[in-house]
Amino acid sequence: MLFLLLIVGILFLYNRPVELQKAVLMSTPLIYRNGLAKPYDRIPADISPPVVDIFYATDRQPSDTHFLYPVFYGNDRSMALSLGLARVRFGDDEMAWPEVERASFKKDRSQEVTLQIERIRELSTLGAAEEMLEESMRGPGSTTDEFITALQQRLSRSSVKDLYIFVPGFKVDFTYPVLVAAELWHYLGYPGAFIAYSWPSRQRLRDYLTDVETTAFTAQHFRMLLAYLAENTDARRIHILCFSAGARIVSQTLHELRLMGYGFSVDQLKKKLRIGQVIFTAPDIDLMLFAARYRDRFGDIADTITIYTNANDTALNWALRFIGWPRLGAPGQLGLKPEELLSFSIMESTWLVDVSAAEEAASGNGHGYFIKSPWVSADLLLSLRSGAAPEGRGLVLKPDSLVWEFPDAYPEVVENVAARTLRH
């Protein structure tokens, strides 16, 4: 009898919701404080917040350290790309959607809104260790691939047929990109489908250089993912948002895709890959390395490229001291030479945005401003929701410069922008 109770107890624990790292909902973006923009008026019928499903892709090895749970991923690299769904809850079990919705619009919340993964479900795998990575691209089609089937169903029920991918920086575990993707999708109003890309970084500062090498390893998997999505889904556009060291993965991937497309016209590449907006926030990458990749015209394959920089980014300034080369996200108080700026202005669809004057841009170490600054998150969401250029989002050009910045009157300006472009 005791043995039977033990077995029942283990099965109960095995099937209970995953209790992993929690996060607190990001600061309310400025465009939602005044009530002009209403992101939740058109939530698709198959989405029932405060519990939502976030798609994920990871080349982390499945871990046995959470053996009581159906699946979890550790810090080791994998030659396979695992694809699945993570169920995320906003608020605790007693917090209903109307309460979460009200709190989402408040500048000062009387109660924190937490985010937590409840369940992780792996659906598909690409590029098993014994296979050639590129050969895996000719693997299961959309009729037998559960991940693609789920994505297609999600897109079919949304009026917006776009995919959004978030690529994090280093020193985070599997859960971080999933939770950040969830809160960004939350403030977008749940259009299309959101994919969290969790690459195998570690959680220790001393592993910085190791993680830098891992970004080069994982870029091939990210390239696989983009091609896989383009070939097997009906997505209109695939938008990419990366943070910090995630810029290394994204820039290398775009560079490789552009070189692989040598001999093809730009129109052919864009039609095949369907990459929309590519947004670099606090990019921790050598400025000259990025410029060198950019000069090979990787921007050709994206609709637009936005690069957010912050002279108050302490983390990137320390990276400069450690590595010895200016970082793209904090390029020496934006003291770029004219020829360096010129390399970013080959095409009119690449924009540099200085966030130094934005509210809360220097909070903490000035690195995570894309979710900590209500001004920056407002601009980022406006970009993803409307596709507008910087001037259409209320930004202004710095005098005698190619760099955009936030005007002093940004709160009033963005209120008019939101009323004009987002009211529905």
Query: Does residue 140 surpass a pLDDT of 70?
Result: no
With 0-12 CB in 10 A as exposed, 13-18 as middle and 19+ as buried, what is 256? middle
Whole-angstrom Cα distance, residue 115 to residue 54?
A: 12
Query: Does residue 8 surpass a pLDDT of 80?
Result: no
The reported pLDDT for the residue numbered 344 is: 62
Whole-angstrom Cα distance, residue 413 to residue 407?
A: 8
The model's pLDDT over 35-52, given as tens digits with 9 standing for 90+, comes to 767 889 889 989 999 999
Letter string b/e over residues 218-254, b meaning 16 or more CB atoms within 10 A of that residue's CB = bbbbbbbbbbbbbebbebebbbbbbbbbbbbbbbbbb
The model's pLDDT over 327-358, given as tens digits with 9 standing for 90+, comes to 899 866 555 555 565 566 555 689 999 999 99
Element (H, E) at 86: strand 73-90
The reported pLDDT for the residue numbered 342 is: 56
Is there a contact between 137 and 257 (Cβ–Cβ < 8 Å)?
no
Whole-angstrom Cα distance, residue 255 to residue 4?
A: 57
Residue 242 banded pLDDT, cuts 50, 70, 90 = very high
Q: Which long-range contacts (CB under 8 A, 24 or more apart) does 260-268 make?
A: 261/301, 266/300, 266/301
Q: How far is CA 102 from CA 90, 91, 97, 249, 415, in A?
A: 12, 12, 9, 37, 19
Q: Which long-range contacts (CB under 8 A, 24 or more apart) does 101-110 make?
A: 101/40, 101/49, 103/25, 104/25, 104/28, 104/32, 104/186, 104/187, 105/28, 105/32, 105/33, 105/35, 106/28, 106/33, 107/28, 107/33, 107/374
The reported pLDDT for the residue numbered 139 is: 44
Residue with tokens 């202004």: 396
Mean pLDDT is lowest, of 8-22, 239-253, 329-343, 406-420, for 8-22
Residue 226 banded pLDDT, cuts 50, 70, 90 = very high
Q: Mean pLDDT across the stretch 167-178? A: 94
The reported pLDDT for the residue numbered 65 is: 59
The reported pLDDT for the residue numbered 18 is: 40
CA angle 317, 318, 322 (to 5 degrees): 120
- Spacing of C-alpha 4 from chain mean position: 45
Residue 58 banded pLDDT, cuts 50, 70, 90 = very high
* 144 contacts: CB under 8 Å, gap ≥ 6: none
Mean pLDDT estimate for the chain: 85
pLDDT greater at residue 334 or residue 316 = 316
The model's pLDDT over 360-398, given as tens digits with 9 standing for 90+, comes to 998 889 899 999 999 999 999 999 999 999 999 999 998
Beta bridge partners of 126: 81
Is there a contact between 90 and 49 (Cβ–Cβ < 8 Å)?
yes
Residue with tokens 């993680």: 211
The reported pLDDT for the residue numbered 129 is: 41
